[in-house]
Amino acid sequence: MSTGQEQLQDYMRLPAEVLYREELEALIKEDTGKIPAGWQMSPRSVLTFIAGGKAGKKVITPKYIGNTRLIEMAVATLVTDRALLLIGEPGTAKSWLSENLAAAIYGNSGLVVQGTAGTSEEQVRYSWNYAMLLANGPTPEALVRSPIMRAMEDGGIARFEEISRCASEVQDALISILSEKTISVPELGKETSARKGFSIIATANTRDRGVNEMSAALKRRFNIIVLPAPSDIETELSIVKKRVAEIAASYELQAAVPADDALLKVVTIFRELRSGMTLDKKEKVKTPAGVISTAEAISLLTNSMALAASFGSGELTDNDLAAGLQGAIVKDDDKDKLVWKEYLDNVMKKKGTEWRSLYQACKEMNE
């Protein structure tokens, strides 16, 4: 057991089903609801796993904080064996939600197609082990099945990340898979039909709109759920706090978890820059060209922690935060630098004494 633990700790990032194995086991054990074919637990338990709650005595931590109704809609979609498309701004926990859904429903979040501009149709359907193909001709052994095909055979859930980054002919390959629920392999003269429980969770960025616009035919085959940016500052704070603590633990960062005060400052700055006005809605703020999502806030804070641990005292200082903010907000664009400068001078400077030292640090950094 102890060796197993050590091995797990060697990985940078564990899949959800491993990370939350105990919670999943508890949920399956305590489950009383009706379990749909191909699922490992009832829809209600899936909901508990994502939104948090209790399974018997075991406390289930919330995985997605914010709008529970959206999770309900996602789960209900998968119950009706429809494919699910999560769209939203970058950093709104689309992939995170899709991974956790797959882990809860299927127990395996690893059947992933990672969509890029170079993704080919073979990666969606199947390809061949050419050495074997040349040696023996088309045989089932020579067939290299895509994650989607494997999910079909197993009645599981496949994930398709960044679907809108793929070329439209690759996207088109999904259309017939989603409506027929079969993949035919003419070379072998056979078809793979999906077992009950098969579904696809795809994610797409709203910022990528227009890169490879999804066809109406494909959109029609998905239930589309838009994940919003956290609606209020409390929600966003609790998300950032939770994730920063989790990541710090898994990377064994040798720095103290940032104080609530620092979190509040970062989240405030991010929300104000994102919405284009100050939180009290009294002043307009220019928005930088880059993405300023919750996920960026989280990585900014963990970066700053790493900086503090490696080159500083281990305590997160305003200088570490300022360096992080500079990197997150000003992205190789002179305009961003100007936006950040204006924000510093017009908004942050006036925020009072607690902000003074952070302002000074940011000001120096932005020179």
Q: Minimum Å distance from CB 161 to other proteins?
A: 18
Q: Per CB under 8 A, does 224 bind other proteins?
A: yes
Q: Per CB under 8 A, does 202 bind other proteins?
A: no
Name the residue among 85, 63, 68 with its Cα closest to residue 205.
85
Q: Minimum Å distance from CB 34 to other proteins?
A: 9
Do the Cβ atoms of 205 and 89 come closer than 8 Å?
A: yes
Q: Minimum Å distance from CB 20 to other proteins?
A: 21
Residue of the chain from 30, 31, 72, 187 that contacts other proteins (CB under 8 A): 72
CB nearer other proteins, residue 46 or residue 111: 46
Q: Per CB under 8 A, does 69 bind other proteins?
A: yes
Q: Minimum Å distance from CB 186 to other proteins?
A: 27
The site map against other proteins for 149-168 (x = CB under 8 A) is: --------------------
Q: Minimum Å distance from CB 43 to other proteins?
A: 6
Name the residue among 115, 122, 160 with its Cα closest to residue 143.
122
Q: Minimum Å distance from CB 80 to other proteins?
A: 4
Q: Minimum Å distance from CB 117 to other proteins?
A: 24
User: Torsions phi, psi of 345, nearest 5?
Assistant: -80, -35
Q: Minimum Å distance from CB 226 to other proteins?
A: 4
Name the residue among 227, 269, 291, 278 with its Cα closest to residue 93.
227
Distance CA 65, CA 93 (A): 10
Distance CA 138, CA 346 (A): 68
Residue of the chain from 223, 287, 317, 357 that contacts other proteins (CB under 8 A): 223
Q: Minimum Å distance from CB 38 to other proteins?
A: 15
Distance CA 69, CA 317 (A): 39
Q: Per CB under 8 A, does 32 bind other proteins?
A: no
User: Torsions phi, psi of 160, nearest 5?
Assistant: -125, 105
Q: 44-51: long-range contacts (C-beta < 8 A, 24 or more apart)?
A: 45/104, 46/75, 46/101, 46/104, 46/105, 47/71, 47/72, 47/75, 49/20, 49/23, 49/24, 49/100, 49/104, 50/75, 50/97, 50/100, 50/101, 50/104
Stretch that binds other proteins, among 105-113, 165-173, 216-224, 354-362 (CB under 8 A): 216-224
Q: Per CB under 8 A, does 196 bind other proteins?
A: no
CB nearer other proteins, residue 70 or residue 248: 70
Residue of the chain from 28, 35, 79, 188 that contacts other proteins (CB under 8 A): 79
Residue of the chain from 26, 27, 41, 47 that contacts other proteins (CB under 8 A): 47
Query: What is the DSSP annotation of 60-104?
Result: EPPSS-S-HHHHHHHHHHHHTT-EEEEEESTTSSHHHHHHHHHHH
How many residues belong to the site for other proteins (CB under 8 A)?
Answer: 21
Residue of the chain from 77, 100, 123, 304 that contacts other proteins (CB under 8 A): 77
Do the Cβ atoms of 158 and 110 come closer than 8 Å?
A: no
Stretch that binds other proteins, among 81-89, 143-151, 160-168, 273-281 (CB under 8 A): 81-89
Give, as one character, the DSSP assignment of residue 277.
B
Amino acid at 265: K
CB nearer other proteins, residue 44 or residue 150: 44
- Within 8 A by CB and 6+ apart from 54, the residues are 48, 60
Residue ranges binding other proteins (CB under 8 A): 43-44, 47, 69, 72-73, 75-77, 79-80, 82, 85, 87, 216, 219-220, 223-226
